[in-house]
Structure 1
Amino acid sequence: MSTIAEFSIPIAEFALSETLERQPDMVFEVDRVVAHDTTHVVPFVRATQGDFGELTEILEADTSVEEVELLANVEGESYYRMVWINRAEIIGYMVAEQGATVHEAIASDDEWHLRVFFPERRGLSATNDYARENGFTLDVTAIYGLGDLEEAQHNLTKQQYDTLTTAVERGYYDIPRGTNAKELANELDISHQALSERFRRATKNLVKNSLLVDEDEED
């Protein structure tokens, strides 16, 4: 049975930990991952927030990055193609050995948050075993059947879903507001930047899956 799993990995155990130590406000989002083996992972990465002035040089100095190519700078966002080595092997194992697809991978607030599609449920179990045997802390936060995720959560991650529902419950969308962004971020134990990113991604997913459901047919 196909399975979608959401889990987190401490940044210290994964790729770009050195970059994020020097640029703690930066948020990295992986758009696509290619892996032909466990040792070399090729992600296409979008960087937001933080200081972009020396980002490319910082990435080049990161020991988890073998290659880095700046593809574009667009309205306060930078797009990169990278080759990850060393600590990215858990992703290489999922993609190359288990045929998994990384739907989302976001680094913020000392963790990488991932949503991964496994063609077979046993691929998730094998990944858990691999993580344990190789010293990775893999914290699985949610497991969905493919239909459950699409129908029940409009393609939202658990973090996005929890953020939106908490915001509604606390009156963030009320007029006047019952809470502000700083208070909401404190309650969720995340930074203001991470809260803003979650709102933006969640809103985009809701619009695409609820209001643009016929987009492909119209095209």
Structure 2
Amino acid sequence: MATIAEIRVPTEGFALSHTLDALDEVNFEIERIVAHDPDHVMPYVWATGADPETLRETLEEDPSVSDVEIIAEPDEESLYRMNWIDSTEALVHILTEEDGTVLAAEGRQDGWFLRILFPDRDALSRTYEFCEDEDLSMDVQRIYNIDQGKQGRFGLTDEQEETIASAYEHGYYDVPRDVSLSDFAEELDISHQALSERLRRGHKTLVENTVIVGRDGEK
């Protein structure tokens, strides 16, 4: 059965450790990642929190990456394409040996935090054993079974998922709103208070399981 795991990997021993160590405020978020062969991983990476020129120079000095190329620079963030050529053993194993998929990944000074879809629980176990054998640190923080549906993917109950989707369809999140909370509650035949609490719990859960990845004290 497909399994989703939230994993923390220390910055040391993982790609971009030099850059994360050199620049206190930089934050990386993987947009897309591909493993071309056992020695190279090519991610598309969003970077925020650092001066673009300083970041570019630091990336050029980072021994774990090569062929760094800026794809886009909207607002205060930059999208890079690069090759990870060092400290990628665990990631390559997940992508090429276990058919894993990286659903989300964020790199900060306190570590890399990844949400990974494994085809089954055994694949996760083999990955953990691989890291132990190779003396690689990997902390499995949370595990979900995919048969939990949206709850497994985002922590939502079916009721919360249906309510948020319906709110979107009714224009509740538009600016200005197409429907008020009271009218939306009447449409669903529940009380104003019950709807408000359901939406707040659902929104909190969505933030915890999509935006907040591995941030201690937030859950």
Are the aligned partners of 2:146 and 2:152 in contact in 1 as well (CA < 8 Å)? no
Matched position secondary structure for 2:73: strand
Match of 1:106 in 2: 106
Query: 2: CA distance between counterparts of 1:64 and 1:57?
Result: 14
Are the aligned partners of 1:3 and 1:146 in contact in 2 as well (CA < 8 Å)? yes
Which letter maps to 1:24? D
Query: 2: CA distance between counterparts of 1:105 and 1:154?
Result: 15
Query: 2: CA distance between counterparts of 1:150 and 1:104?
Result: 16
TM-score, normalised via structure 2 length: 0.68
Match of 2:207 in 1: 202
Task: Give the 5 Å matches for 1:40-55.
Answer: 40-55=40-55
> Cα distance 1:65–1:152, how it changes in 2: closer, same or farther (>3 A)?
closer
Which letter maps to 1:52? P
Query: 2: CA distance between counterparts of 1:62 and 1:106?
Result: 18
Task: Give the 5 Å matches for 1:29-178.
Answer: 29-148=29-148, 150-151=150-151, 154=154
Does 1:15 pair with 2:15? yes
Query: 2: CA distance between counterparts of 1:127 and 1:107?
Result: 20
Are the aligned partners of 2:15 and 2:65 in contact in 1 as well (CA < 8 Å)? yes
Superposed CA offset, 1:156-187 (max 9, x none): 8xxxxxxxxxxxxxxxxxxxxxxxxxxxxxxx
Superposed CA offset, 1:181-215 (max 9, x none): xxxxxxxxxxxxxxxxxx9x928959xxxxxxxxx
Between Structure 1 and Structure 2, whose CA radius of gyration is higher? 2
Query: 2: CA distance between counterparts of 1:29 and 1:122?
Result: 27
Which letter maps to 2:207? A
User: Shift in Å at residue 99 of structure 1?
Assistant: 0.6
Query: 1: CA distance between counterparts of 2:143 and 2:67?
Result: 33
Query: 2: CA distance between counterparts of 1:55 and 1:149?
Result: 39
Query: 2: CA distance between counterparts of 1:142 and 1:203?
Result: 12
Which letter maps to 1:82? M
Matched position secondary structure for 2:15: coil
TM-score, normalised via structure 1 length: 0.68
Q: Structure 1: which 5+ residue stretches go unaligned?
A: 157-198, 207-219
User: Shift in Å at residue 53 of structure 1?
Assistant: 2.5
Aligned-pair RMSD on alpha carbons? 2.3
Query: 2: CA distance between counterparts of 1:205 and 1:144?
Result: 14
Query: 1: CA distance between counterparts of 2:2 and 2:209?
Result: 25
Superposed CA offset, 1:93-116 (max 9, x none): 100111110001101142000000
User: Shift in Å at residue 139 of structure 1?
Assistant: 0.3
Are the aligned partners of 2:10 and 2:111 in contact in 1 as well (CA < 8 Å)? yes
Q: Structure 2: which 5+ residue stretches go unaligned?
A: 157-203, 212-219
Query: 2: CA distance between counterparts of 1:75 and 1:91?
Result: 30
Query: 2: CA distance between counterparts of 1:108 and 1:65?
Result: 17
Identity of aligned residues (%): 39
User: Shift in Å at residue 146 of structure 1?
Assistant: 1.4
User: Shift in Å at residue 51 of structure 1?
Assistant: 2.3
Superposed CA offset, 1:75-127 (max 9, x none): 10000011101201211110011111000110114200000001122111111
User: Shift in Å at residue 50 of structure 1?
Assistant: 2.3
Query: 2: CA distance between counterparts of 1:106 and 1:149?
Result: 23
